[in-house]
Amino acid sequence: MRKTVLFPFIHKNTDSERRAWHKKRSLILLLLFMFMLLSSCAQQAETEQFFCMDTLISITCYGSDASTQIASAKEELERLDALLDAEDPASELSALNRGEDVSEETLSLVNTALSYSEKTDGAFDITLRPASLLWGFSGENEPHIPDESDLAALRAVTGRDQIQNLSDLPEGMSLDLGGIAKGYASDRLADLLRDCGAQSAVISLGGNVRVLGTKPDGTPYTVGIRDPFSDSVAFSVDVADTSVITSGNYQRFFEENGVRYHHILDPETLCPAKSGLVSATVICENGTYADALSTALFVMGREKAETYYRNNGDFEMILIDDQNRVFSTPGVTLTDHSDGVFTYHEIS
Ligand code: AMP
Ligand code: MG
């Protein structure tokens, strides 16, 4: 009967066959070792930092394609900045503000932003640019406390209810995507990196962090949340495949007579929101939503933010108030780095 040899490489009868097998085995082991070494080198991190979207950007990718992936991400970010920067007269957003036609992408983000306005009962509002310009938080004006009458006059050109038709905004109205553009950009960059084959990456756009997957070794990423009262990290969270986005009163502000005036405006007063919060962090996969929401929760203040959380619950949040109290939702585990400066409270 004919014997079928299923595995010829382990079928060895003679000494020479055995010697050849040992040689082959050593070669296989050597190749395996080299492969393991290369694949551990392939997980080397590469980080690039640069300025874009008016903030410091940092992108980390891993492996042999890291530099190409980072270069594509940088190009995409510059494209989005050129589209969405209200301060740049050549941007599509400026074109929209002048009543000109713009791409589907820009219109779609503006519509998404308006839907978040609706969802947050107006706390998130992209029509506040005339007020930001008057305060000097954007544009050429020196930051200053405006005259009440000048502020009151802006009521006629602010407020999402005034928008009937995006291609024909009321005279004097001017949209600003500063509260959502970075989160949107982090989503687009995460999509792009994933399409380029990245399984693990960190995209940081100022206070907006998006992590792709876990670290290459399978452990979660640790994201630090800034102490709003100093330059240090207050506490950190361990996360995977999500966005961690913070709005704070320390990101852009001026001080007069010991009072801090910051860049997040309350749509009801057109003044810096006085909600008792100094920072609001949102954790959820959708960075566009997380960005809009962190701005909105900051405006709402703790009680309304908690109500919003209970009614929606599609995210996790961490709020810091002006009494050094930290309030977080049950899905968040915080590691304190503040040496007891903060007290921690769970939102239930
Ligand atoms: P963020 O850092 O994401 O909270 O965004 C703050 C930026 O959003 C400001 O610099 C303004 O450009 C814009 N902004 C200010 N107040 C609001 C608001 N209530 N809703 C939406 N955008 C706002
Ligand atoms: Mg925001």
Q: What are 117-162's pLDDT values in tens digits? A: 999 999 999 999 999 999 999 998 999 999 999 999 999 999 999 9
Please write the tens of the pLDDT for every residue from 195-212: 999 999 999 998 799 999
Residue 207: the pLDDT is 76
| pLDDT < 50 stretches in the chain | 1-13, 18-19, 21-23, 25-41
| pLDDT computed for residue 195 by the predictor | 96
Phi, psi of 12 (to 5 degrees): -135, 115
- What is the structure's pLDDT at 161? 92
For ligand 1, say whether the CB of 176 is within 6 Å of any of its atoms. yes
What residue's CA is closest to ligand 1, atom 5? 179
291 CA closest ligand 1 atom index: 3
The pLDDT value recorded for residue 239 is 98
Average model confidence (pLDDT) for the chain?
90
State whether the beta carbon of 178 lies less than 6 angstroms from ligand 1.
Answer: yes
Among 176, 254, 298, the mutation site with the greatest number of ligand 1 atoms within 8 A of its Cβ is 176
CB 216 within 8 A of CB 43: yes
Mutation pick for ligand 1 pocket among 263, 268, 275, 317 (CB with most ligand atoms within 8 Å): 263
Dihedral pair phi/psi, residue 56, rounded to 5°: -85, 125
